[in-house]
Structure 1
Amino acid sequence: MRTITVTAAQSNKKIGRIIRESFPEMPSSAMFKAFRKKDVKANGVRVKEDYVAMEGDRLDIYISDEILDGSPVSDAENTKAYFNVSYEDANILVVNKQPGIAVHPDREQADSTLIELVHRYLQEKGELYESASDDFKPSLCHRLDRNTGGLVIIAKNSGSLKILLKKIKDKEIKKYYQCLVWGKMERNYEELTAYLVKDELRSRVFISDSPPKGSQNITTRYRVLSYESNISRLEVELITGRTHQIRAHLAHIGHPVIGDGKYGTNAINRPLGAKHQSLWAYKLVFDFAGDAGCLNYLKGKKIQVVPEFNIKKI
């Protein structure tokens, strides 16, 4: 733990910048973690990274001296353990997320979230505040469930974020998933329709073939890629994008996603040794129908990764 007093030269600067300047050998990841755990105080009050300090402020930084002086952080803080970069340019970043990490802070938040790790990655590159507005931070354009792996788009500036959100809303960015499900599909290709009701208290959804009160219509399109040992590999396209839609809809028709602890069954998952649900957002297609402003160069672009499923053969 160290305490520093803000000087006249440091006055009117954000506290995160002051800490980086005061401890240049400290890994940025350690500072992000300290703010996340509320281990930084100004005049005895916990503050966030964007707190603007004034001359004479007392800053208490509850980080070990070894780390402040540049000792390496643990392997658990290595961003490569959580995501790999699949595509990057000046406007956007597309990462391939591992299962088990939340994309943003939630009530079950782990030590690190994807967006925090992305900020750390860009901070190490010196790009975190590259946008015209110093207040903008690279932002998620969509979400994935904690235990779903795959591609996530992050906007690096406000202009790109506005365009990407609109293109996603207008279905001009197509998202494709692969999953492993139990059993042989009745058809090699099908567009499924049903109704979904969300139960916030139980953090799950329920599917029915007729519309109950408060339900939303859902459409899930799948294509069989392969079949072996009573396991089907599917490509799935979400026509509607509701909470847990793929997992719940496929379970509803009798083909639960392997490894899904919420909508699947332990009798299937345990023998296969599936630690995470076998669902991966593996392909993005930028299918722009109209003008995309500064992102027009992405029209027609496809980004694709290989899903990382890990199950035993039976």
Structure 2
Amino acid sequence: MELEILYEDNHLIAVNKSNSDLVQGDESGDEPLNDKVKAYLKKKYNKPGDVFLGVVHRIDRPVSGVVLFAKTSKALSRMNKMFQEKEVKKVYWAIVKNLPPEEEGELRHYILKDSNKNKSYSLHKKRPGAKEGVLFYRLVSSSANYHLLEVDLKTGRHHQIRSQLAKIGSPIKGDLKYGFPRSNPNGGISLHSRRLEFVHPVKKEPVVIEAPVPGNETLWTAFENVVID
């Protein structure tokens, strides 16, 4: 599949990830997105030898949307610091069947990761190893059977959005791991990294990168059209 480039300059490149791509390689042996981007850069710029590409952040394999990479070590170190210091605004869209108790609100839990199950648990009380997870959500649109939530992610814990929405009774469509009863036909889940906003690490200019929703899914397209209109 051809890469969908959302943003590119001398320092950064952002792509719209499908919900089947890995960001980095794992034991599956599938070709990861970072290798595909390296190949794209090598071909586009006719670069000899290895191409430098730094992974700035990751999103889960079944999630679609914006993924940002650094083309220089300077940009990588500065972007890593900006993510650590919460200077990057991360906005996601999530489709759920069950409305949250309130149309908008802040969720605060302690996120406990179980590495053996590759799953995280949202807890009301702190336990050893648990880290605080914070997000703000709001209802954006509704169809006959589903609802679109916009999530402003304040922290970046393992499976945080998936776990916290499930905890309040609103598991993401297709997310069997967190309690949704049916999988999506494409094997992904209806969670989309919609937008990144930050000050460019070198140019010091505001940058907003927005990813169109998966075009082959009618529910996503219908919601996007309503929001844009």
TM range (shorter): 0.7 to 0.9
1:34 is matched with none
Residue 311 (structure 1) shift: 6.3
The answer as to 2:198 corresponding to 1:286 is yes
Structure with more relative contact order (C-alpha pairs < 8 Å, separation 6 or more): 2
State which of 21, 32, 40 in structure 2 corresponds to 1:113: 32
Q: Judging changes above 3 Å, is the alpha-carbon distance between structure 1 residues 122 and 172 closer, same or farther for their aligned structure 2 residues?
A: same
State which of 199, 211, 219 in structure 2 corresponds to 1:305: 211
Residue 123 (structure 1) shift: 1.0
1:203 is matched with 118
Deviations along 1:78-117, one digit per CA (max 9) or x if unpaired, are 4x1xx3000111111011110111110112332x110000
Does structure 2 retain, via aligned residues, the 8 Å contact 1:256–1:264?
yes
Aligned counterparts, 1:79-158, within 5 A: 80=2, 83-110=3-30, 112-126=31-45, 128=47, 137-158=52-73
Asked which structure has the greater CA Rg, the reply is 1
CA distance in 1, matches of 2:20, 2:186: 13
Alignment coverage as a number of residue pairs: 219
Does structure 1 retain, via aligned residues, the 8 Å contact 2:195–2:210?
yes
Does structure 2 retain, via aligned residues, the 8 Å contact 1:174–1:287?
no
CA distance in 2, matches of 1:135, 1:109: 20
Deviations along 1:224-264, one digit per CA (max 9) or x if unpaired, are 10122242101111111100000011001100000112113
Task: Give the secondary structure class of the aligned counterpart of 2:27.
Answer: coil
Does structure 2 retain, via aligned residues, the 8 Å contact 1:185–1:232?
no
Does structure 1 retain, via aligned residues, the 8 Å contact 2:62–2:187?
no
CA distance in 2, matches of 1:258, 1:204: 17
Does structure 2 retain, via aligned residues, the 8 Å contact 1:136–1:158?
no
1:215 is matched with 130
CA distance in 1, matches of 2:57, 2:46: 21
Does structure 2 retain, via aligned residues, the 8 Å contact 1:205–1:244?
yes
Q: Judging changes above 3 Å, is the alpha-carbon distance between structure 1 residues 229 and 114 closer, same or farther for their aligned structure 2 residues?
A: same
Does structure 2 retain, via aligned residues, the 8 Å contact 1:102–1:109?
no
CA distance in 1, matches of 2:139, 2:82: 28
Q: Name stretches of at least 5 consecutive residues in structure 2 with no aligned partner.
A: 221-229
Task: Give the secondary structure class of the aligned counterpart of 1:142.
Answer: coil
Q: Name stretches of at least 5 consecutive residues in structure 1 with no aligned partner.
A: 1-77
TM score, norm. by length of structure 2: 0.87
State which of 160, 163, 166 in structure 2 corresponds to 1:248: 163
Residue 275 (structure 1) shift: 3.2
Q: Judging changes above 3 Å, is the alpha-carbon distance between structure 1 residues 274 and 135 closer, same or farther for their aligned structure 2 residues?
A: closer
Aligned counterparts, 1:152-191, within 5 A: 152-191=67-106
CA RMSD of aligned residues (A): 2.2
Task: Give the secondary structure class of the aligned counterpart of 2:82.
Answer: helix
TM score, norm. by length of structure 1: 0.65
Does structure 2 retain, via aligned residues, the 8 Å contact 1:220–1:238?
yes
CA distance in 2, matches of 1:157, 1:181: 38
Identity of aligned residues (%): 31
